[in-house]
Structure 1
């Protein structure tokens, strides 16, 4: 009787161990699906690199900004877009000076995700703040253009470690925030990354005058191989000024000792 009970007990332990192993394996598969935007560097990645300061625990895992998918629908609360619904709340602090900014230009750009674990993908989509957004207010849906400026459906395909997208960013100037979202195909979740961007010709950059300006006239004549030059004569050769030390004919400035660069 004791032997039978021991046999039953051992069988139960084996069964429970097998079930626990399957559950742990399933949990690992879900938890390992992580990634972040590597280029241009996301807010969380700049925290890990100590470029952004006072970021909280995200410095250890910028790849873990995971929350329910469905954006721009009711997936994560307004005011918690940067932190993926409050996962790392420090990331939701928002002002015009709070975060380091990545210089970028409007138009065609290459965005790169780094995936610490590959996961079947539904789609990738990107959003940018409106031209008149307020950088000193929390990030809400009202702050963003809710039509993605880039969207790619992967149909459940499993990506590689690096994923690149050729995107076209709408015209912007000054400080803006870009939101990139990676929707996972076989879970209910997505990964959210914001990027703080400084577009050219913003408040701190003087606009480029579109009208071409004529070049400044040179005070010296262009060097001529058929001209006799005397000591003290000055010429321009390949954009650089030279002075003759003595009489010369046909000796090329920059290649002969007779010419002294100015």
Structure 2
């Protein structure tokens, strides 16, 4: 393995499932295009210890960490073998790429949206002479990561707060020498679960023209005065061998505007309310040389007229005959969130404090369809628009075994009730995604109907 870095990451207040937003991953571009939703963007999740293929393995460095589930099979690496986003696995060189240069450092920025105690991040690159017309498979990548960031604290349960990464987390990744199109695979491995998160970034390695003549990347990019109608960006002046002529702002990976130097601010007045944007900036000197990109930032605009953004990704974490376990993504706004209002079939049934994003709705009827929606109320009395509508059917009450639940370890031959039937576990695993629920197409290797 080439150069690696091991370090301890400081505590984060709100780390969660996550994705790479800069340079935009293949999944991030798909989310921008409306091909997957925000929940699917953050849940490219499968077993850890790639490029291994089998589950049940312990971490050779930290043997007290949770053993792994099976990593994604060949041909399902970009999607992490999830049913959502299967088109991410399509072979070909048509994917949107980022221009890079071998030997330079690439800032890779992660954002997190669900709690996970982290062990490491591994970065893989495709081999010289790989074949883009074939699906991404283990033999298309180098066998070892070319770069790694590891948290060395053990055992994980004694250091859980210290092992949660801040959001965003930025890694300064030194790129290997390559030419043309290559794929970078980033794998975020979790200590307290069996899984990892997979992000594919498509890169175009171009010649290093001009050697050291390029300006340095601008630093200190930040957003201020963020409203539902504008985002004010400021940054620090760049330097280089030649005078800086202008700064090039990019939003969501697309060039927005050139700002003439020495100006160090720009206001984006074309934003929409309750929308997530990513920004980065480059410097261009008077010889036409362009710097590497700055570290990117993500900005979510508040709801219209300062109202909170709608809660996101309302989903079920488990269903029984008489209850539904619910979870959603937090709202944001210009004022703190005071409460979440939960509606069932159009009627408010619960108010929860603003720091809660989960609730188990009990006392329900078996075999009954319910619709849920959540709204946020801030401390100024402003109410958000409703989030997504979730339709859930309770079990029929005939199951004689415990109800299947999300985030639960299951041993081989364990019996559960789900979706009105009984099921037997085919292989030991932990239920980290609803795609692994009994009866789902992607769970056929995990569950079989139990008579």
Corresponding residue of 2:135: 138
Residue in structure 1 matching 2:72, options 57, 72, 76: 76
1:209 Cα deviation after fit = 8.8
Q: Report which structure shows greater RCO (CA 8 Å, sep ≥6).
A: 1
CA contact (8 A) 2:44 2:82 kept: no
Distance (Å, rounded) in 2 between the aligned partners of 1:194 and 1:208: 27
Is 1:34 the equivalent of 2:17? yes
Corresponding residue of 1:179: 185
1:67 Cα deviation after fit = 0.6
Distance (Å, rounded) in 1 between the aligned partners of 2:102 and 2:115: 29
Show structure 1 runs of 4+ deviating over 6 A: none
Distance (Å, rounded) in 2 between the aligned partners of 1:208 and 1:46: 28
Residue in structure 1 matching 2:29, options 23, 35, 46: 46
Corresponding residue of 1:204: none
SS of residue in 2 equivalent to 1:198: strand
1:194 Cα deviation after fit = 0.2
Distance (Å, rounded) in 2 between the aligned partners of 1:186 and 1:94: 33
Deviations 1:150-200 (A, max 9, x none): 111114411111111111111011111000000011000100000011111
Is 1:111 the equivalent of 2:102? no
CA contact (8 A) 1:149 1:167 kept: no
Deviations 1:24-46 (A, max 9, x none): xxxxxxxx941001111100001
Judged with a 3 Å threshold, the aligned counterparts in structure 2 of structure 1 residues 136 and 59 are, in CA distance, closer, same or farther, namely: farther
Distance (Å, rounded) in 2 between the aligned partners of 1:111 and 1:82: 17
Unpaired runs of 5+ residues, structure 2, are: 1-14, 54-70, 157-162, 212-451
Corresponding residue of 2:124: 127
TM-score, normalised on structure 2? 0.36
Which of the pair is proportionally richer in helix? 1
Aligned residues: 169
1:72 Cα deviation after fit = 1.1
Corresponding residue of 1:90: 87
Which of the pair is proportionally richer in strand? 2
SS of residue in 1 equivalent to 2:41: coil
TM-score, normalised on structure 1? 0.60
